[in-house]
Structure 1
Amino acid sequence: MTTSASDRSALGAFLRARRARVTPGDVDLPVSGRRRTPGLRREEVAQLAGVGVTWYTWLEQGRARNASDQVLDAVARALRLDPAEHRHLMVLAGRGTTPEPGPPMDLRPEHTAVLAKLLPYPAAVQTDCYDLVAANRTYRYLFADLDAYPVEERNCAWLMFTEPSWRNSLVDEDTVLREITAKLRNRQPEHRDDPRWNALITRLRQESPDFVRHWESYEVAGDRTQLRRYVSPRVGALDVQFQSLWLDRARGERIIVMTPTDDGTAQRLERLDSLVGAAPAWTARSDAADSSAAGA
């Protein structure tokens, strides 16, 4: 499959970033002489992958076309790419699918019923680019009043990078912001023609130097259940398992839910729900496809 010049350029930048992070010792190569290059040299990657140095150089320079799956797999092994990074490499090389930009996801009554039933655990319906389509009561008031933000700002990535009340809730701030960026970087090539994605990345690059710093590191990451530690302004410390319940994995649509890791967190989430108990069990963005009224 023929790739565009922009994709080949992105592929080269990704390979250079990954090469800089692998040392000769990581791949059992001897270290000889003074090294000005961080990580591996191009010729070392080519040797490990069993390809020509000139060809690998062209690959990093965005000049190589139609690389075979076997060669790409060999380069992935040489650079010790994890599964998410390997997948990202293949997408940049034209092996992934690019979904057509579609309408907003179809928010259905069964989705909002799940949000209500999960209380007092914070939960929300989220798209592939972190747009919050609907959220239950404890999620909406976990850091601030989510419904008070304009619709176009109800996006987890945007709020975590630009909104102090959200960002200040993060105990492991740099780790979480790096993971958010790495997940966006991982899936962005599949959405290169999607206006939602392009607008989000452009806004973040314009408004957040921290996003730019993480974005230009070319880290990529897949989705996984993970520990998140927050400090809620209403109830204090919360240690939760952050996980995705997939609605449509191919489109990246999910219900995200935070489950407590200890009794103290469970009690504080119950207290949070009691403090905001007069609010509806869930609310949705005004542009969501489902037009049902918020649950009582």
Structure 2
Amino acid sequence: MPRNPRASQLGEFLKARRADLTPRAVGLPAGGNRRVRGLRREEVAHLASISVDYYSRLEQGRIQASVPVLDALGRVLQLGDDERAYMFELAGKEAARPRRRSAQKVEPQLRRLLEDLPTTPAVVLGRRMDILAWNPMAAALVMDFSSIPAKRRNYLRLVFTEPSLRALYPRWEDVASMCVAQVRMEAARHPNDPQLAELVGELAVRDEQFRRWWAGHHVTTRTVGTKLMRHPVAGELTLDWDTLTCTTDPDQQLVVWTAEPGTPSHDGLRILASWAADARHLTAGRPE
């Protein structure tokens, strides 16, 4: 049976695009004797979370790709909008048009809650774990979020890129993998979110552990839990965290950290509150 000409063209296109990428561009080591220019088939398949055999047959024009696989390949091969549209055209698939959603604004009731928690660290997380607002105690406990440009103020990104957060969490891998699983759940609800795709692409290039956890497809929701923190001022803290979902915008959640009264961690939060009151630079996060 003769092969579908468009499927063959798709295979050639994929070959050409992976030949254009260096291992360094996708966060892979560049060592060893490489017999091919650009990325190997095995590397593309690994980054796209598909089997090598499946990807090989795609390049050979022997099978048709599904929309989720095409989306993954577009991300891995770092395709521009026109290249992505061309790939979908060759595959005979309708590409969902990425729609950039408007920036979230903190709901007034969540803002009031933040302001009424002078001794309790709290943040408002939006879509993709964007940090929408915080109180001075959260800045004292975690970091001065105002020092991060608003467009990059994302908790998942900070967990992987800020050395201070790695130091704050003695069990950093547990915290980081949970953040990945929570955002993975959101990706299922909003598969065509271009901002989320950009965030995932950025972290996949920068961090091997992120790539592995993202490819693992583990998911969880943000509810309650306990975190161990090692704070430079308050010392070692064991804090319970809880999540309150905004009824008017379910994509906004208030996350609070508390400690059992009478425990060293509760005393540590009181010490932190006193320190935060004296640190005038630790201000509440305001909409920008």
TM-score interval w.r.t. the shorter chain? 0.5 to 0.7
2:266 corresponds to which residue? 266
1:106 corresponds to which residue? 105
- The 3-state SS of whatever aligns with 2:128 is coil
- Write the mapping of 1:240-251 to structure 2, written as runs, cut at 5 A: 240-248=239-247, 251=250
- The 3-state SS of whatever aligns with 2:127 is coil
1:208 corresponds to which residue? 207
Q: CA deviation at 1:226?
A: 0.6
- The 3-state SS of whatever aligns with 2:237 is strand
**Cα contact 1:151–1:285 (8 A) shared by 2:** no
Q: Deviations over 1:91-149 (max 9, x none)?
A: xxxxxxxx975322232333222112122111011113111011000101213322112
- The 3-state SS of whatever aligns with 2:182 is helix
Question: Quick check: 1:178 aligned with 2:177?
Answer: yes
Question: Quick check: 1:120 aligned with 2:119?
Answer: yes
1:137 corresponds to which residue? 136
- The 3-state SS of whatever aligns with 1:257 is strand
- The 3-state SS of whatever aligns with 2:226 is strand
- Write the mapping of 1:1-296 to structure 2, written as runs, cut at 5 A: 101-248=100-247, 251-261=250-260, 263-278=263-278, 279=280, 282-286=284-288
TM-score by length of 1: 0.60
Higher helix share: 2
CA 1:127–1:233 in structure 2 vs 1: closer, same or farther (change >3 Å)? Answer: same
Distance 1:62 1:218 in 2: 23
Q: CA deviation at 1:219?
A: 1.2
Q: Deviations over 1:15-39 (max 9, x none)?
A: x9xxxxxxxxxxxxxxxxxxxxxxx
Distance 2:275 2:139 in 1: 12
**Cα contact 1:248–1:254 (8 A) shared by 2:** no
CA 1:106–1:209 in structure 2 vs 1: closer, same or farther (change >3 Å)? Answer: same
Q: Which runs of 5+ in 1 are unaligned?
A: 1-8, 17-60, 66-98, 287-296
Task: For 2:213, give the aligned amino acid.
Answer: H
**Cα contact 1:123–1:257 (8 A) shared by 2:** yes
Distance 1:167 1:152 in 2: 21
Distance 1:282 1:248 in 2: 23
Q: CA deviation at 1:160?
A: 0.7
Task: For 1:273, give the aligned amino acid.
Answer: A
Distance 1:107 1:226 in 2: 24
- The 3-state SS of whatever aligns with 1:193 is coil
Task: For 1:176, give the aligned amino acid.
Answer: V
**Cα contact 1:244–1:255 (8 A) shared by 2:** yes
Q: Deviations over 1:64-91 (max 9, x none)?
A: 99xxxxxxxxxxxxxxxxxxxxxxxxxx
Question: Which segments of structure 1 move beyond 6 Å, counting only runs of 4 or more?
Answer: 61-65
Distance 2:110 2:215 in 1: 36
- The 3-state SS of whatever aligns with 1:241 is strand
Task: For 2:222, give the aligned amino acid.
Answer: D
Q: Which runs of 5+ in 2 are unaligned?
A: 1-44, 52-62, 68-97
Q: Deviations over 1:202-230 (max 9, x none)?
A: 11112122211211122111222111111
- The 3-state SS of whatever aligns with 1:282 is coil
**Cα contact 1:120–1:138 (8 A) shared by 2:** yes
CA 1:211–1:147 in structure 2 vs 1: closer, same or farther (change >3 Å)? Answer: same
CA RMSD of aligned residues (A): 3.0
- How many residues align? The count is 199
Task: For 2:110, give the aligned amino acid.
Answer: H
**Cα contact 2:145–2:285 (8 A) shared by 1:** no
**Cα contact 2:49–2:215 (8 A) shared by 1:** no
Distance 2:114 2:227 in 1: 20
Q: CA deviation at 1:62?
A: 9.0
**Cα contact 2:139–2:283 (8 A) shared by 1:** no
